[in-house]
Amino acid sequence: MTARIVATTQEHLDVFDIKDNVVLLKNGTSCVILQTTAVNFDLLSEIEQDAIIAAFSMLLNSITFSLQVVLRSKKLDISKYIEKVQKVESKITDPLLKYQMESYRKFVQEFITQNEVLDKRFYIVIPSIASGGEAPGVGAFDWISRLMGTHKKTINVDIEKTLREAKVQLMPKVEHMVKEFNRLSIKARPLTTQELVELYFDIYNPSSVHGQRIRTSVSDYTTAIVNPAIIEE
């Protein structure tokens, strides 16, 4: 008798599904992820800095629920940008403009060889409350519980029910955070389903081609992690 065992990457993730711009977790909870812009605090005047500090204090005092703040730094691949510059350079006929474009390209190439160019993204994760009023055991980016052996087992997730509860619990919190961030001159918006899938794909596949588009069908992003094994009995 032979049995085929197929392992997929999803068995090792906390994410059960992503639907309607909501991340559904395997412990029965859900979360919404906001992406925010940033403010260069050092470039502000003293009056502006005081205003930002006061607005940030109001934001902190207004939060009555749990959330996660995630800062993600990623080395930026600008090889495609260099290729575009070279194409533009090759089409320039004016000698002076061509020289200036060539100087610019060489400057950028030399700069990236001596310095790392980082792409920084800022996220706010707003989780739902598990049934019974307990805080969720696993967050959207929280792997500490698994490392400490407190990771909860997967339960049967009712997707439609979880989505309904998520919209009731999370949407007012999302609107509140967006409004408070506006006081800081920071734009915040919820990530769409497509963006969430691409974000998680990029996190778990850092060596993949930059800018690869991932479809949102569950069957599309459920990828085998090992080859099927055949066990002889």
Token pair for 80: 């495609």
Residue 137: its pLDDT value, please?
A: 47
Residue 146: its pLDDT value, please?
A: 46
Residue 2: its pLDDT value, please?
A: 53
Residue 231: its pLDDT value, please?
A: 47
- Round to whole Å and give the CA distance between 137 and 25: 10
Segments making up each domain of the chain, as ranges: 2-73+119-232, 77-116
Residue 215: its pLDDT value, please?
A: 54
pTM for the whole thing? 0.68
Number of separate helices (H) and strands (E) present in the chain: 7, 8
- Round to whole Å and give the CA distance between 14 and 140: 8
- Phi then psi dihedrals of residue 188, to 5 deg: -130, 140
Using only C-alpha atoms, what is the Rg of the chain? 23
The pLDDT averaged over each successive group of 10 residues in the chain (233 residues) is 56 82 88 92 91 91 91 82 89 90 89 79 87 49 45 67 89 94 92 92 68 50 46 48
8 A C-beta contact, residue 140 and residue 35: no
8 A C-beta contact, residue 8 and residue 150: no
Residue 185: its pLDDT value, please?
A: 87
Q: Are strands 68-75 and 118-127 parallel, antiparallel or unpaired?
A: antiparallel
Residue 179: its pLDDT value, please?
A: 93
Residue 211: its pLDDT value, please?
A: 47
